[in-house]
């Protein structure tokens, strides 16, 4: 017998809700160790995690790097590639840049949106390929609804950070890299590695660092080394301490704070050989981030030793100043992205652009990106290919399961088993809601992907209601939407808009209140974008949370 109407909003039953996984997890207000239960699923040991002497799963960053460099068939020997090869790459780039005229400089340094999210000019006479750029969110960011059905919607960066497991990050980065290569892209705009300290920031879901610079450094190295392993350039983002404030306004954080809190993940990216770093359209101490000579030249290129290219987020180059002021290229920027205008070619501006061209070309040569190992535009075959696979879906499921955090489990209510409960009632707005099929204007979001990044193909998704119903069927537990007679009510809610700061959305809070008043026991499942307050925590028996976890939620 098929699922009831309230749980049958999917054309294809895809099996179990969550893969077996246990790992030490982190949440902004809670720290949970030795997670052993999630609803109907008993969670075993993670095949990717380390185990320390007290039985707790853990990892050591140096262990990860050692394991990575000892792969049986590495694409590159990392100890030989970085950072020594930068010298050769820069010398070769300088030779090419010195032979470019002004028109060609503009073509190299002004990336445009076309077939790919961003493209640079090809220089066939120097065997310089087109940089075919796409954002990693963390999966390949689709450009349209059709492409959304051909890529995997992985858990958000914050969900990956909450696994505390660089081995899982490596698995996800491998799958994402394979989809980038399948679609013809050779440059990854990501990962997002900002350390977030403002809990009301609407982009908190978009951070592989969470709020911890050490965690971010280890995760960043895991991600970047893996992607470089596949011959793809990475451009981590966003440099400039955007995470300090929820809106674009001046940030007067101390320089010591920058080096202790915000910069460590970017230093890890530099040490891992990232080809680029991206700045955004916001101000730092009253200066646009992509024009901040202190951050870009002194800190990044000087003290951190970054030898690659600084790339502006689309429209963020801020080259709208009179000719007597320094251009953004003179102040540390190397590539403008999808800018509506170009600056006049003053003498000093052209000199700065020549130096920027050296960095762009060095980034390409450093990773040995050539026309031979890059598809020829328009890359029709690659761009129309189906990049997703069953293997990638399993990786996404493993990551989503590992990202779950248990916040409360009074009386060992979880896991729900036949000897404890006979009937479970499902409630809450996220229980049966399907994701949006393509990005909107940001006013509406969903419970599964990042804000403005909704792209799960409905035909490949099944709702939490269906997953919980099917798991109940397998365990001999009746799962219904009728509260009457239920032993336990499971409320599935969360947050999906940038206005949902510090709290679940109103629909979720109302459903929890209703369950508390009508049900003998209540379990709350939360799909959230960042930290939330839990005013109901003393009124419910169990709470689980996950930061937006993509198509395998």
Residues ≥6 apart with Cβ < 8 Å to 161: 26, 207, 208, 209, 210, 215, 216, 219
H-helix or E-strand spanning residue 523: strand 522-528
Inter-CA distances, 468 with 26, 203, 227, 526, Å = 24, 29, 35, 14
pLDDT (0 to 100) of residue 13? 34
Predicted confidence (pLDDT) per residue in 153-164, tens digit: 999 999 999 999
CA distances (Å), 394 to each of 155, 157, 172, 383, 445, in order? 12, 17, 10, 23, 25
pLDDT tens sequence across 380-427:
999 899 999 999 999 999 999 999 999 999 999 999 999 999 999 999
Which residue bears the tokens 């979720």? 508
Distance CA 553, CA 546 (A): 9
Q: What are the angstrom distances between the C-alpha of 150 and each of 18, 29, 57, 181, 490? A: 22, 37, 35, 13, 33
Give residue for tokens 């990202």. 403
Question: How far is the C-alpha of 295 from the C-alpha of 291, rounded, in Å?
Answer: 9
User: Is the four-CA dihedral 418, 419, 421, 423 of positive or negative sign?
Assistant: positive
| Orientation of helix 166-182 relative to helix 390-402, angle to 10° | 150
Regions of the chain where pLDDT drops below 70: 1-2, 6, 8-84, 199-202, 241-254, 284-285, 320-324, 340-345, 437-444, 451-455, 457-460
CB atoms inside a 10 Å sphere around CB 122: 18
**Structural domains of the chain, ranges and CATH numbers in brackets:** 67-384 (3.20.20.300), 404-545 (3.40.50.1700)
Q: What pLDDT score does 254 carry?
A: 55
Mention every residue, 6+ apart, whose C-beta is less than 8 A from residue 343: 319, 323, 327, 328, 329, 349
How many CA atoms lie less than 13 Å away from 291 in the CB half-sphere? Answer: 18
Q: Measured between alpha carbons, how far is 116 from 378 in angstroms, rounded to an integer?
A: 9
In 3-state terms, what secondary structure has residue 399? helix
Which among 10, 40, 9, 130 has a CA at the least distance from the CA of 374? Answer: 130
User: If 0-12 CB within 10 Å is exposed, 13-18 middle and 19+ buried, where does residue 345 land?
Assistant: middle
Output the six-digit token pair for 187.
């440059």
CA distance 59 to 53: 12
* Cα–Cα distance measured from residue 280 to residue 301, given in angstroms and rounded to the nearest whole number: 17
Candidates 173, 159, 170; CA nearest to 48 is 170
| Among candidate residues 35, 38, 19, the one with its CA nearest the CA of residue 27 | 35
Return d(Cα 351, Cα 267) in angstroms, integer.
28
* 3-state secondary structure at position 309: strand
Phi/psi zone of residue 218: left (φ > 0), alpha (ψ -120 to 50 degrees), beta? alpha
What is the C-alpha separation between 393 and 175, in angstroms, rounded? 9
Cα–Cα dist 112/388, whole Å: 26
């Amino acid at each position: 017998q098929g699922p009831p109407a309230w749980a049958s909003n999917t054309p294809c039953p895809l099996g179990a809700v969550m893969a077996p996984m246990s790992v030490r997890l982190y949440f902004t207000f809670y720290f949970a160790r030795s997670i052993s239960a999630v609803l109907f699923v008993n969670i075993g040991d993670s095949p990717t995690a380390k185990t320390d002497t007290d039985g707790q799963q853990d990892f050591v960053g140096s262990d990860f790097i050692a394991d990575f460099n000892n792969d049986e068939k590495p694409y590159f020997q990392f100890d030989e590639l970085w950072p020594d090869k930068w010298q050769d790459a820069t010398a070769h780039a300088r030779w090419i840049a010195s032979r470019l005229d002004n028109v060609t400089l503009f073509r190299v340094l002004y990336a445009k949106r076309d077939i790919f999210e961003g493209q640079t000019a090809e220089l066939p006479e120097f065997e310089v390929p087109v940089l075919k750029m796409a954002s990693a969110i963390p999966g390949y960011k689709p450009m349209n609804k059709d492409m959304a059905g051909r890529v995997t919607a992985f858990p958000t960066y914050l969900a990956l950070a909450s696994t505390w497991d660089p081995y899982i990050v490596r698995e996800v980065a491998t799958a994402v890299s394979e989809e980038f290569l399948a679609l013809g892209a050779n440059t990854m705009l990501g990962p997002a590695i900002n350390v977030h300290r403002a809990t009301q920031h609407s982009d908190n879901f978009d951070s592989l660092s969470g709020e911890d610079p050490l965690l971010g450094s280890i995760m960043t190295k895991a991600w970047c080394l893996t992607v470089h392993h596949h011959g793809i350039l990475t451009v981590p983002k966003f440099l400039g301490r955007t995470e300090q404030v929820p809106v674009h306004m001046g940030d007067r954080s101390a320089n010591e704070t920058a080096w202790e809190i915000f910069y460590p993940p970017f230093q890890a990216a530099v040490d891992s050989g990232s080809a680029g770093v991206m700045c955004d359209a916001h101000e730092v101490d009253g200066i646009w981030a992509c024009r901040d000579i202190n951050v870009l030249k002194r800190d990044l290129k000087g003290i951190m030793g970054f030898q690659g290219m600084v790339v502006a987020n689309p429209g963020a180059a801020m080259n709208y100043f009179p000719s007597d002021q320094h251009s953004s290229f003179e102040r540390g920027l190397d590539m403008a992205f999808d800018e509506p205008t170009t600056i006049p070619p003053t003498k000093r501006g052209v000199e700065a652009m020549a130096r920027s061209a050296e960095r762009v070309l060095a980034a390409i040569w450093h990773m040995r990106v050539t026309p031979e190992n890059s598809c020829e535009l328009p890359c029709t075959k690659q761009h129309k290919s189906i990049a997703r696979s069953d293997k990638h879906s399993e990786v996404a499921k493993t990551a989503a399961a590992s990202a779950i955090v248990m916040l409360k489990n009074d009386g060992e209510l979880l896991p729900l088993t036949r000897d404890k409960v006979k009937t479970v009632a499902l409630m809450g707005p996220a229980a049966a809601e399907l994701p949006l099929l393509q990005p909107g204007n940001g006013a509406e979001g969903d419970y599964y992907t990042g804000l403005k990044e909704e792209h799960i193909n409905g035909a490949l998704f099944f709702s939490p209601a269906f997953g919980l119903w099917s798991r109940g069927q397998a365990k001999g537990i009746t799962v219904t939407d009728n509260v009457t007679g239920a032993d336990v009510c499971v409320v599935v809610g969360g947050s999906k808009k940038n206005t949902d700061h510090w709290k679940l959305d109103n629909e979720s809070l109302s459903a929890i209140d209703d369950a508390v008043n009508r049900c003998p026991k209540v379990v709350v499942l939360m799909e959230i974008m960042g930290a939330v307050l839990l005013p109901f925590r003393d009124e419910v028996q169990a709470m689980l949370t996950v930061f937006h976890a993509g198509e395998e939620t």
